Amino acid sequence: MISIIDYGMGNLESVRKALALLGAPVQIVSDPESLRRSDKIILPGVGAFRDAIAALRKTGMDAAITEFIASGKAFLGICLGMQLLVDTGFEDGEHRGLSIIPGQCIRLTVDQPPLRLKVPHMGWNSLNFDPSHCAPLLAGLPADTYMYFVHSYHVVPADPKTVAATADYGVKVTAAITRDNVMATQFHPEKSQAAGRKVLENFLRV
């Protein structure tokens, strides 16, 4: 059973429907015990780092996620769900994350001179990765695959080897990370049409 974590800030129905269309058994969970019984989990998210990490800690889901990942089972974070994996987030102050992936989540500053791009970064952007040596999450996708992004903050991992794909938006943005059984995307696969479905299919096969 694949569980989608409900902590009051996720894009739950879009993710659930995308997985259901792929024939995956899926449930939405909001308590640690249900999460522990899951085969795979997805941490979605739309919102602020501070509020999200506070919600996970209030219910004990933060510790349950860490325990689940330590068990070796497959984990997928989406958008804010990827950002929460790092040590520190700087949205609305400085806040401690889950510390699964060493690194920080910082604001996109591309709206400042000389770039003056819009923040949030919203819309379709192509990925940068090598299809011949890519992470399993991106298997079968062609180079320059387009995915849908909506975010004002981005992850800067301490170890560049965890970066599976990037996107260019004035600066190089971490678009996907992988480390062992932990996978995450800054883009929204559930909103990225056929390419996004392929990412979710790959996660189901892990």
**Residues with catalytic annotation?**
79, 188, 190
Q: Hey, which bits of 2-120 come out as E strands?
A: 2-5, 26-29, 40-43, 74-78, 88-89, 95-96, 103-107
How is residue 168 written in tokens?
């260019």
> Residue 196, Cβ neighbours under 10 Å: how many?
22
What radius of gyration do the chain's Cα atoms show?
16
Strands of 87-195, DSSP E: 88-89, 95-96, 103-107, 121-126, 146-151, 153-157, 163-169, 171-179, 182-185
Strand partners, 26: 2
